[in-house]
Amino acid sequence: MPSLREAVDDFLAQKRIAVAGVSRSPSEAANLIYKTLRQRDYEVFAVNPNAGEVEGDRCYPDLKSIPGGVGAVVIATAPAVAESVARECAEQGVSRVWMHRSFGQGSVSAEAGEVCRAAGITGIAGGCPMMFLPGADLGHRCMRWVLGLTGRLPKEV
């Protein structure tokens, strides 16, 4: 079982990342993650079955619609949807999943975690990729510290 740091490093080493749960509302956490990864030169793909375009880019209805697939997926949906996204990751051969969560429930779902484990997917259940990107903003660095201090970041995945 990899440590959180090992899983994070492996996740962020992927250059093609999908963000499931982006919204037409630009203030959502998923959109912030999407924009930040795009600015950091990741090839990032927006996924939302109810949007054709997000942040000025094409939005895909599901993971199988992304040409060439992806190496990792950030799940930033409601927890009730996370399980179906995790199942789609398993079907598409995606071996790295990050269920976004800051202080609230976020996207973490026990059922999605079970799907990941059963499929051999490395699943990070909590936190945010932006907390771990080199040069993370002060807000995300503080959030990482608080979540680590309170035990809300997983130690292993």
Could you report the per-residue pLDDT of 51-62, keeping only the tens digit for each? Answer: 999 989 999 999
Instruction: Return the CATH number of 4-149, one of 3.30.420.40, 3.40.630.10, 3.40.50.720, 1.20.58.220.
Output: 3.40.50.720
Question: For the segment 89-107, what is each residue's pLDDT rounded down to a tens digit?
Answer: 999 999 999 999 876 778 9
Residue 156 in this model has a pLDDT that exceeds 90: no
- 44 and 34 Cβ atoms separated by less than 8 Å: yes
- 37 and 44 Cβ atoms separated by less than 8 Å: yes
More confident residue, 154 or 18: 18
Coil, strand or helix at 3: strand
Provide the β-strand partners of residue 47: 20, 60
Rounded to two decimals, what is the model's pTM?
0.94
Q: Give me 60's structure tokens.
A: 């895909």
Matching residue, tokens 């037409």: 24
* Averaged pLDDT for residues 104-129: 93
Res 106: pLDDT: 86
Question: For the segment 27-48, what is each residue's pLDDT rounded down to a tens digit?
Answer: 888 999 999 999 999 999 999 9
Q: Would you kindly state where each structural domain of the chain is located, as residue ranges?
A: 4-149
The upper half-sphere exposure of residue 48, i.e. CA atoms within 13 Å in the direction of its Cβ, equals: 22
Cα 86–chain centre separation:
11
Q: What is the CA radius of gyration of the chain?
A: 14
